[in-house]
């Protein structure tokens, strides 16, 4: 399947593995790239920019295909050394970056100046257009279904993707809620050039997380998420677990402040949950698409299956309907 996205990135299939904190390591990114998609390392999963340099080298030793790095710009009081992470990406010869989060302008300019392609991931048409004005090469648009930060507008992909496609001129990637060939064909029909998946790639053989977390995703249905941080205008969609239920419960108090839940939502605890499989340890991030995930294939099996299913839908089902 050839789209503007496969042409832009030099990949075989229009499928991207989105940046994922603690999950986007070399094993997973290389497996996705080897299967013909675009695997993405997550910069801030590495404790220092030098660790990211080593992770980029490690990924390159596992695949000779293109892979990317996600740089998530968080609204924190003590920001990580973004410029140094950015330099590690540039020095590492990475050809494509997924930016996400607040005000990517400076990073976009620097990446572009060094010939790195930039995909900016956002959750609204207005932010997609502002990223386009900054000169990004592609825009990824995350619908309300997605794991992670769906924004505050609550517009699901079925409306957000075609609304973005009507206005965005650079290649458009649909993200949030995708897991199979039906979703890929739907995204293309809505005007996107490819898809990004997060949760689906967590439930694969190569995802470097504990099997209990993969089983949680397989067991979860489309209702198995919680929205948290809404009150603090930083909404996040996470798996429904005892920890996220507690966060919801505490946040429901009219006078609740962030300090009341801070002890439950620490990044290091989320990492512990992913690594040990102890779902009481911290937050696990996952989307509504859990309802479409029923197994734990390898990335090659998953991507092969998605492409076969998409081809069958286009070639048989839809062609039959048009006849």
Ligand X SMILES: Cc1cc2nc3c(=O)[nH]c(=O)nc-3n(C[C@H](O)[C@H](O)[C@H](O)COP(=O)(O)O)c2cc1C
Span interacting with ligand X, options 12-20, 84-92, 291-299, 308-316, rule CB under 6 A: 12-20
Q: At closest approach, how far in Å is the CB of 316 from ligand X?
A: 26
Q: Which C-beta is closer to ligand X: that of 162 or that of 291?
A: 291
Q: Which C-beta is closer to ligand X: that of 21 or that of 33?
A: 21
Which has the closest alpha carbon to 120: 134, 131, 110?
131
Q: At closest approach, how far in Å is the CB of 112 from ligand X?
A: 19
* 190 DSSP 8-state letter: T
Pick one of 38, 146, 160, 273: the residue that binds ligand X (CB under 6 A): 146
142 lies in the binding site for ligand X (CB under 6 A): yes
- CB 313: neighbour CB atoms within 10 A? 18
Pick one of 30, 122, 138, 147: the residue that binds ligand X (CB under 6 A): 147
State which residue has the least CB distance to ligand X.
198
The count of chain residues that interact with ligand X, using the rule CB under 6 A, is 29
Pick one of 41, 188, 289, 302: the residue that binds ligand X (CB under 6 A): 289
> Per-residue x/- marks for ligand X, 208-237, CB under 6 A?
------------------------------
Cα 155–144–255 angle (5° rounding)? 95
80 lies in the binding site for ligand X (CB under 6 A): no
What CA–CA distance (Å, rounded) separates 250 from 260? Answer: 7
Which has the closest alpha carbon to 120: 175, 201, 75?
175
What CA–CA distance (Å, rounded) separates 253 from 83? Answer: 39
- 100: tokens are 């996400």
21 lies in the binding site for ligand X (CB under 6 A): yes
Let me know: does 284 contact 263? Beta carbons within 8 Å: no
Q: At closest approach, how far in Å is the CB of 261 from ligand X?
A: 19
Q: Which C-beta is closer to ligand X: that of 36 or that of 287?
A: 287
Which residue bears the tokens 């990335």?
299
Pick one of 49, 181, 194, 198: the residue that binds ligand X (CB under 6 A): 198
- CB 184: neighbour CB atoms within 10 A? 27
Span interacting with ligand X, options 105-113, 141-149, 181-189, 249-257, rule CB under 6 A: 141-149
Cα separations in angstroms, 68 against 29, 34, 87, 223: 8, 13, 14, 31
199 lies in the binding site for ligand X (CB under 6 A): yes
Q: Which C-beta is closer to ligand X: that of 64 or that of 222?
A: 222
176 lies in the binding site for ligand X (CB under 6 A): yes
What CA–CA distance (Å, rounded) separates 71 from 82? Answer: 8
- 307: tokens are 């492409």
Q: Which C-beta is closer to ligand X: that of 165 or that of 283?
A: 283
What's the full length of the chain, in residues? 323
CA of residue 124 relative to chain centroid, distance? 15
Cα dihedral sign, 165-151-209-69: positive
18 lies in the binding site for ligand X (CB under 6 A): yes
Q: At closest approach, how far in Å is the CB of 95 from ligand X?
A: 18
Q: Which residues pair with 174 in a beta bridge?
A: 141, 195
* Contacts to ligand X by CB under 6 A: 18-21, 23, 42, 70, 72, 100, 121, 142, 145-148, 175-178, 196-200, 202, 285-287, 289
């Amino acid at each position: 399947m050839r789209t503007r996205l496969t042409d832009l990135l030099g990949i075989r299939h229009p499928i991207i593995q989105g940046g994922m904190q603690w999950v986007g390591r070399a094993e997973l990114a290389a497996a996705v790239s080897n299967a013909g998609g675009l695997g993405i390392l997550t910069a801030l999963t590495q404790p220092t920019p030098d660790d990211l340099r080593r992770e980029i080298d490690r990924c390159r030793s596992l695949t000779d295909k293109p892979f990317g790095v996600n740089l998530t710009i968080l609204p924190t009081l003590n920001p990580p050394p973004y410029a140094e992470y950015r330099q590690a990406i540039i020095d590492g010869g990475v050809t494509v970056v997924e930016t996400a989060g607040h005000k990517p302008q400076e990073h976009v300019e620097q990446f572009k100046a060094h010939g790195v392609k930039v995909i900016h991931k956002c959750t609204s048409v207005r932010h997609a257009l502002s990223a386009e004005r900054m000169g990004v090469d592609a825009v990824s648009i995350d619908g309300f279904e997605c794991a992670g930060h769906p924004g505050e507008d609550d517009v699901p992909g079925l409306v957000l993707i075609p609304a973005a496609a009507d206005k965005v001129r650079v290649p458009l990637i649909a993200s949030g809620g995708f897991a199979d060939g039906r979703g890929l064909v739907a995204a293309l029909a809505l005007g996107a050039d490819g898809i990004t998946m997060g949760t689906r790639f967590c439930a694969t053989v190569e995802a470097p997380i504990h099997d209990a977390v993969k089983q949680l995703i397989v067991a979860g249905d489309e209702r198995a998420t919680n929205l948290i941080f809404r009150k603090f205008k930083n909404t996040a969609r996470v798996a429904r677990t005892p920890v996220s239920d507690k966060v919801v419960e505490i946040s429901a108090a009219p006078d609740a402040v962030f300090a009341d839940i801070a002890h439950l939502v620490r990044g290091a605890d989320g990492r512990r949950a992913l690594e040990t499989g102890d779902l009481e340890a911290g937050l696990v991030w996952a989307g509504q698409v859990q309802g479409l995930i029923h197994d734990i294939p390898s990335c090659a099996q998953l991507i092969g299956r998605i492409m076969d299913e998409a081809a069958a839908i286009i070639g048989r089902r839809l062609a039959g309907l048009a006849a």
